[in-house]
Amino acid sequence: MCTQGTIQETLEQASNGDARPGIIKTITERCMKTLPYSSIAALRLELAAAYDREGDQANCLSALSPYVADAARSDDEITQGMTGAAADEITGIMEVVRSMLDRCERRSPPGSVGR
């Protein structure tokens, strides 16, 4: 289940709107200890997008909860001490996370947990 092929197939289905949140969530939970940060982030972002498509904003925000603290920090703060390639990867991920958090928060009722 945690092969790169399975992950890629799930991400492709998710980006086409064909993967249900439950499928993405199951793979994310089962594979998070064996996959690189970027793959887990991609799965969590697709999970948030799937919840967003269904209008489930609480779970949209919940899918991104591991990134909320970093998303609130500046790119320089997040990447302090990292090499160029690693810093570029993290800032790219954080840019997409911030965008998705904004999307989730725009549709959330007042008082919801967010940033």
Structural domain count, the chain: 1
Residues 82 and 20: their CA atoms lie apart, in Å, by: 35
Q: Residue 81 sits in which domain range?
A: 4-106
In a domain, 26, yes or no: yes
Token pair in block for residue 98: 């911030």
Predicted TM-score (pTM) of this structure: 0.82
In a domain, 111, yes or no: no
Question: pLDDT for 65-95, tens place per residue?
Answer: 999 999 999 999 999 999 999 999 999 999 9
In a domain, 115, yes or no: no
In a domain, 9, yes or no: yes
Question: pLDDT for 13-24, tens place per residue?
Answer: 877 777 788 888
In a domain, 113, yes or no: no
Contacts 24+ apart (CB under 8 A), 106-109: 107/52, 107/55, 107/57, 107/60, 108/57, 108/58, 108/60, 108/61, 109/57
H helix and E strand count, the chain: 7, 0
In a domain, 114, yes or no: no
In a domain, 99, yes or no: yes
